[in-house]
Structure 1
Amino acid sequence: MAHNDRNQDATLYIGNLDERVTDSLIWELMTQAGPVVNVHLPKDRVTQTTQGYGFCEFQSEDDAEYALKIMNSVKLYGKPMRINKASQDKKYLDIGANLFIGNLDPDVDEKLLYDTFGAFGKIVQPPKIGRDPDTNQSKGYAFINYDSFEASDSAIEAMNGQYLGQKPINVSYALKKDGKGERHGSAAERLLAAQAKKNLGDTSAGPAIPNKRFVDTSISSPQTSQTYSPAPPSGPPPHMQSRFQAPGYIPPPFHPNK
């Protein structure tokens, strides 16, 4: 699937995955929430095992929202999945709760950043590590965007100066892109964010679960934290195989936005 053809609004980021989780297993699980278009779990270059995170694209944004609502915290191999939208509405991205992470250990990856900083609040898109375009090696810094200043303030207070990997990280508000040297997090920016949230309504609770949907009761909700016990992965379930070619079909990978 071409990069520009992907629907980022219908794509979920899935973190905290056990290395035994496969593309076909995520496909099998997520099709119980809605039709899946694509699944991609980045693999370690040496061991070819899952790196602990991935992306799942649905046919529609409603399907992705529904999957986010019911699948977040469902356990695979004893580990609760951490699910977020790969992209969010601009009202989230533009509020300015954006952090700069400096002095980053080169071994720290996007998964570790997401799992670490996700403890303080909702991250609105996968963390972005500055990387060399030729070698893909980390340049030692990253950016993280939250949906609230409460979350970003908490992250700075808790993580600035803490070790992540083998190095103490520097956590502060990121510089604004206008080139004037001002940082996010100003009083004016916070006031605008509060006003925008008031005007738009608080959407943090997420959409209501439509009653018309049916989900296999063997898959737990976040409230029950039961464990999903998958059958041996073999691509899309039988009722989906006619849509996606023959049994055993594994969807082609795609590469998420950097």
Structure 2
Amino acid sequence: MASEGYGFVEFVSHASAERILNTYNGSMMPQTDQAFRLNWASFGMGERRMEGSDLSIFVGDLASDVTDHLLQETFKARYPSVKGARVVTDTLTGRSKGYGFVRFGDDAEKARAMTEMNGVYCSTRPMRISVATPKKAMNQQQQYNPKGYGSAAQDSSSDSDPNNTTVFVGGLDPNVKDQDLRQIFGQYGELVSVKIPVGKGCGFVQFVNRAAAEDAIQKLHGSLIGQQTVRLSWGRSPANRQPAHYGGWNQMQPDPSQWNQGYYIYGQGYQGYGYAGPFQDGSAYGYNSYPAYGHYPQQVS
């Protein structure tokens, strides 16, 4: 049976585990060309997740060279309670997806980091900070269907399908036209098609090759198009499209998950979190991103 690429080590004391984590995280494994990626495990091993409080934050717009260790040290230099960090990578290519999560041991330091670290450089790019949404809350959001798109969940294969070249563009300014998206996304590679369903606040951009689509997602996610900040993710792969008619043309059916959930990760210590969008004052809007995304409500279990 092939290894799944991760494991768990349980220590007698928390102090011993913390010392090992701080010493070996980011260092090279013996007789390999891979570095250790260490984080606190959850639900039964290591440090248990604190009840009633989410002590993780989402970090977006990460440069491609940012590692778990660099992300952790960037925050730990200012906030001693930082317990771990993870950069999310593509399961097939191993390349960074441009975002990650940082876990804190102190709620006050987490709150400070939300404001103090937004726009701070990690490697060559300024970070975008937001709260990390508990997975349970995200699942609840998926059950709510404000746009009447149906209850179909996002096909998880779309993200890892090497043949999928379609980018979903959420939170789209209603004044943005097909040609506007074509001009912006065309800078990253040759396009097959661009579609904006009438009145849906979203669009789909299909590239000729996946590498160009990946580059566009990493570079344009969280950017301003028109007067709104867009949220990008993978659309359905061609093999899994569900036809839906929008203004006379056929296109894949937008998924509720692409509106109300973000990206889930399944690594140890972070399997309960998804992307909630860059941080703003909670009194100004709900949860899920910049002011343009104020209609995505915060739901914390």
Q: TM-score, normalized by length of structure 1?
A: 0.41
Higher RCO (C-alpha under 8 Å, 6+ residues apart) = 1
Q: TM-score, normalized by length of structure 2?
A: 0.36
